[in-house]
Amino acid sequence: MDKLTKKEEEIMKILWKLKKGFVKDILAEYPDPKPPYNTISSMVRILQEKRLVGFKQYGNTYEYYPLLSKDAYRKRFMKAFISDYFDDSLPKAVAAFIEEEQLGQQEVEEILKLIKSK
């Protein structure tokens, strides 16, 4: 599976939050300015074609739900991110966050506890 586009990710995040919804429900979750209804409808159909979103039909109306969990996507994305930017090295990725001062002492200690618990 390829990485989702920014717009696809936005829709998936909304569906993960809602668990299921119609296009109007997805649109209601967007901040202003909201994209056109037809744009959301088209994007959801693309996600459905990619087998990331399923649907239940009620006459001419479709209720959509995610087939890919947020956790499964996060794992795939993080693995690709670490591979692409850190030579497939988790220690290099963590070091980069530490060097950029993205992690404070408390966060480093939490990570160390997680590592020791494994």
Domain ranges of the chain: 6-66, 70-117
- pLDDT for 108: 78
Q: What CATH architecture applies to the domain 70-117?
A: Orthogonal Bundle (1.10)
**What would the CATH number be for the domain defined by 6-66?**
1.10.10.10
What whole-number distance in Å separates Cα of residue 46 and Cα of residue 53?
9
8: amino acid identity, one letter: E
- Is 1 a residue whose pLDDT tops 70? no
Q: Are 52 and 64 in contact (CB under 8 A)?
A: no
Report pTM: 0.77
Q: Are 21 and 14 in contact (CB under 8 A)?
A: yes
Work out the average pLDDT over 82-91.
87
96: amino acid identity, one letter: A
Q: Between these two residues, 69 and 94, which has the higher pLDDT value?
A: 69
